[in-house]
């Protein structure tokens, strides 16, 4: 058994770094749904079909020389939530319920919970501990846990391979979680089982230590969660309304595209798999102190959305975090709004997409969404201790201030007040600036809680999409015959699965599509590199302490999540602390990596999580070369990475080392006001070098969740050689007449800063290109009858000149394709 575990761990680390999983534990026979972190930590949950207060949990946590601990938190932020911790005491496993309150050892939990071990799943071996137990009273429905009627939940975990202070004491001090920690989401339906009562009866008041070992399953993905159920074999209806354009995805890019297309008078259907994010779009999750806004609107709450009380806005079937709510990632991110520098487009984007080519689209977009580094209406900045301290620290090493929204090409040795997508004191973006301008038009329709499953395709022609609606039923919605277009804007994490389900992608991925999906025959598959070469910004966290017990004061989390009357009153006037996002200073620099001579940019976003501490989230950005592939898991319902996409190349590692060497020197100067710290919060030893410091800080590595490149744009069509491109320079999927992709998945490169701004600039350019195919321009109304929200088949269909429409060139053949698609559906 020990050997089988070692073999599996080696295989798992090769195949998949981390992620959601469903598995049956060999020792107990219990079926769990949970998460694997890629390094040996697993958490699994099992629940009754109609849960009330109890569940079964399994924690499998790595040990080093028999020492360590593993913890599972019932909320995303650790602090304020029930935390179950397990550690070895000789051959026994100690279980301890805790409650974290901040950057200290979690204290004993005072709520009414009972932890009863299940013997066959609770033991110690040479590499891991396994704790399997009935957790009675753990579903509290209060602020410290989740509710029995929730559909999705967000949890967290942490673990260490360093011993606790006193393993015999259930309230002992814990070592710092240097081995790993993160958050993950779950669709709770996958944890429910009719066999729960049988499994719960196995719980006993004493535990044994069998000599066997637990088998950790290998069908894992990266952070994101368990799957939304795949399409079933139930009957699929066909809508009797057609649209000129169907856009699949109501995120940042989809909203821009839908808004611009609807302005032309064309009939447009925008499909969003999530629900509303604002009161104006139908949300009933307003904050208690203002019935007109939700937590999504409040800039200061962007770091705390998962604990704000809104229903889970995150996708539960993706390889990493993605927003599944109207506005997509733009509704759940930290609002960083970094205007792209010219080199972001000039380096790897194809002809027609260089900085000068995109300039008009960029100007159009920023004129509507200018952003701000001074969002408070009273023209004051609040909570500026971090900025004042860190700007002085950086200034002594040659960094200078910059206005990033006015000087986007200054990205070397500069610092700034953070640029945010905040307008009128609220979170900005296309939900506020594009959607309202078309929402009342008769030719525009928005359908939320509607998940695009696949493009309905026969050969090169796409006649529409199959969707799954909120009630679980399926429907085929069609585009205007011969001229309609389907535009996928589901994001880097979700667009690839739609393409796979549509018969587009590498053959091994198409073979992995679930049998419940109505797949095309292999003769109609289109071999394109969907999912290949995905990139992301890695983030390591660097902390610095103030020297000589400085006076940097940090605000408590409640200042943002439970604001006082003064803050509320100011916010109602568009001013004050709540109009600011969580960052307090941004800086940019670059490093030339010795191993390959390439320039790589770095970005730091900084704040103060506790008094007398500065936290830098340090990104390697434009120029990085590490990547991975996004693939379907063994069920075909989830996506996963084949390996970590972060720090896979020596050049990327050297970029971090180059800046860390500089930071070590800065902190070591006699006049430095800050001292460099290790990942565990202790001061870095004198003489530490950049390589050793990075080795320590790699334990803090987290995704930037700025993924690009899973449906890359370029001239190198894979069907004609060993190409890397999925879409052409019009964003049309190679091998199709009328299927397009407009989201971050088509971006061939990462930008210097967060992806929010460049995604929407590229969407403006893309809609320009798509309209040009029909002889139109942005802002130009179309000729003919294009004012209906939808059209009965064949009625008032848009007419396009023969030379402008590839689909039209097939004449009657195009109509036959459309009729055959309906028959196949």
CB 654 within 8 A of CB 594: yes
CB 592 within 8 A of CB 661: no
Locus of tokens 């972190």: 37
DSSP secondary structure, 711-778, as one string: T-BSS-BGGGSS--BSB-TT-BBTT-SSEEE-SGGG-SS--SS-SHHHHHHHHHHHHHHHHHHTT--T
Specify the DSSP element, H or E, that contains 445.
strand 444-448
CA 58/CA 420 separation, integer angstroms: 41
C-alpha pair distances (Å), 99 with each of 511, 559, 713, 796: 46, 20, 48, 63
Annotation marks residue 177 as catalytic: no
CA 589/CA 258 separation, integer angstroms: 36
In terms of phi and psi (left: phi > 0; alpha: psi -120 to 50; beta: otherwise), the region of 138 is: alpha
* Beta-carbon contacts of residue 94 (< 8 Å; ≥ 6 apart): 86, 87, 88, 167, 170
DSSP 803: G
Give the chain's radius of gyration (CA, Å): 27
Helices (runs of H) and strands (runs of E) counted in the chain:
17, 36
Tokens in use for 235?
A: 């009957």
3-state helix vs strand vs coil in the chain, percent to 5: 25, 25, 50
Locus of tokens 């033991």: 123
DSSP secondary structure, 459-505, as one string: TTEEEEEEEE-TTS-EEEEEEPTTT-EEEE-S-TTTHHHHHHHTTBS
Among residues 177, 537, 706, 817, which one is catalytic? 706
C-alpha pair distances (Å), 668 with each of 662, 671, 686: 10, 8, 8
Residue 562, classified by CB atoms within 10 Å of its CB into exposed (0-12), middle (13-18) or buried (19+), is: exposed
DSSP-derived 3-state class of residue 93: strand
Query: Which residues are known catalytic residues?
Result: 706
């Amino acid at each position: 058994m020990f050997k089988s575990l070692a073999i599996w761990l080696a295989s798992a680390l090769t195949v998949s770094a981390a992620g959601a999983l469903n598995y049956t534990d060999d020792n107990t026979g219990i079926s769990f749904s949970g998460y694997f972190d890629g390094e040996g930590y697993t958490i699994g949950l099992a629940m009754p079909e109609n849960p009330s207060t109890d569940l079964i949990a399994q924690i499998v946590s790595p040990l080093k020389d028999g020492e360590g601990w593993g913890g599972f938190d019932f909320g995303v932020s650790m602090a304020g939530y029930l935390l179950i911790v397990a550690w070895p005491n000789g051959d026994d496993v100690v279980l301890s319920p805790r409650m974290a309150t901040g950057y200290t050892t979690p204290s004993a939990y005072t709520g009414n919970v009972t932890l009863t071990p299940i013997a066959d799943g609770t033991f110690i071996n040479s590499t891991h501990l396994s704790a399997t137990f009935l957790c009675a009273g753990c579903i509290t429905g209060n602020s410290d846990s989740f509710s029995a009627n929730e559909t999705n939940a967000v949890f967290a975990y942490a673990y260490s391979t360093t011993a606790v202070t006193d393993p015999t004491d259930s309230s002992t001090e814990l070592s710092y979680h240097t081995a790993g920690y993160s958050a993950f989401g779950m669709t709770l339906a996958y944890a429910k089982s009719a066999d729960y009562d049988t499994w719960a009866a196995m719980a006993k008041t004493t535990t044994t230590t069998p000599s066997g070992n637990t088998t950790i399953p290998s069908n894992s993905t990266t952070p994101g969660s368990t799957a939304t159920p795949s399409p079933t074999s139930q009957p699929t209806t066909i809508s009797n309304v057609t649209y000129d354009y169907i856009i699949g995805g109501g995120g940042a890019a989809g909203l821009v595209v839908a808004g611009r297309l609807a302005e032309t008078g064309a009939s447009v259907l925008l499909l969003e798999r999530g629900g509303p994010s604002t009161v104006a779009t139908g949300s009933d999750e307003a904050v208690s102190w203002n019935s007109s806004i939700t937590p999504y609107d409040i800039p200061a709450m962007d770091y705390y959305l998962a604990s704000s009380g809104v229903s889970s806005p995150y996708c539960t079937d993706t390889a990493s975090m993605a927003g599944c709510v109207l506005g997509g990632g733009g509704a759940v991110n930290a609002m960083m709004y970094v205007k792209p520098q010219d080199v972001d487009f000039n380096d790897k984007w194809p002809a027609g997409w260089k900085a000068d080519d995109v300039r008009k689209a960029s100007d159009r977009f920023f004129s509507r969404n200018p952003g701000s580094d001074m969002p408070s209406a009273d023209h004051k900045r609040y909570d500026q201790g971090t900025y004042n301290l860190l700007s002085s620290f950086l200034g002594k090493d040659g960094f200078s201030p910059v206005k990033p929204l006015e000087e986007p090409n200054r990205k070397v040795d500069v610092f700034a007040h953070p640029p945010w997508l905040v307008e009128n004191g609220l979170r900005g973006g296309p939900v506020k600036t594009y959607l309202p301008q078309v929402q009342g038009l008769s030719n525009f329709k928005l359908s939320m809680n509607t998940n695009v499953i696949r493009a309905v395709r026969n050969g090169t022609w796409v006649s529409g999409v199959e969707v799954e609606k909120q009630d679980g039923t399926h429907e085929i919605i069609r585009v205007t015959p011969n001229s309609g277009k389907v535009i996928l804007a589901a994001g880097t994490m979700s667009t690839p699965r739609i393409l796979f389900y549509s018969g587009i992608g590498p053959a091994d991925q198409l073979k992995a599509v679930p049998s419940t999906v109505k797949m095309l025959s292999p003769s109609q598959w289109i071999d394109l590199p969907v999912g290949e070469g995905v990139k992301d910004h890695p983030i390591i966290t660097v902390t610095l302490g103030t020297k000589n017990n400085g006076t940097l004061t940090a605000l408590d989390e409640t200042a943002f999540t439970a604001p006082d009357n003064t803050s509320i009153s100011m916010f109602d006037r568009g001013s004050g602390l709540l109009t600011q996002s969580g960052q307090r200073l941004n800086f940019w620099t670059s490093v030339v990596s010795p191993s390959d001579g390439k320039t790589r940019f770095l970005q730091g976003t900084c704040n103060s999580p506790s008094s007398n501490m500065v936290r830098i989230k340090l990104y390697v950005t434009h120029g990085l070369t590490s990547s991975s592939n996004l693939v379907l898991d063994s069920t075909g319902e989830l996506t996963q990475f084949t390996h970590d996409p972060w720090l896979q190349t020596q050049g990327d590692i050297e970029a971090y080392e180059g800046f860390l060497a500089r930071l070590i020197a800065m902190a070591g100067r006699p006049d430095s006001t800050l001292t460099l710290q290790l990942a565990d919060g202790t001061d870095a030893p004198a003489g530490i070098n950049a390589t050793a410091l990075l080795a320590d800080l790699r334990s803090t590595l987290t995704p930037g969740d700025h993924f690009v490149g899973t449906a890359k744009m370029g001239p190198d069509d894979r069907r004609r050689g060993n190409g890397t491109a999925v879409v052409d320079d019009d964003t049309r999927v190679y091998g199709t007449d009328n299927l397009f992709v407009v989201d971050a998945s088509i971006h061939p490169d990462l930008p210097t800063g967060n992806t929010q701004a460049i995604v929407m600039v590229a969407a403006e350019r893309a809609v320009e290109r798509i309209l040009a195919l029909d002889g139109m321009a942005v802002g130009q109304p179309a000729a003919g009858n294009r004012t209906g929200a939808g059209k009965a088949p064949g009625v008032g269909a848009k007419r396009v000149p023969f030379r402008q429409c590839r689909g039209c060139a097939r004449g009657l053949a195009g109509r036959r394709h459309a009729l055959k698609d309906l028959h196949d559906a």
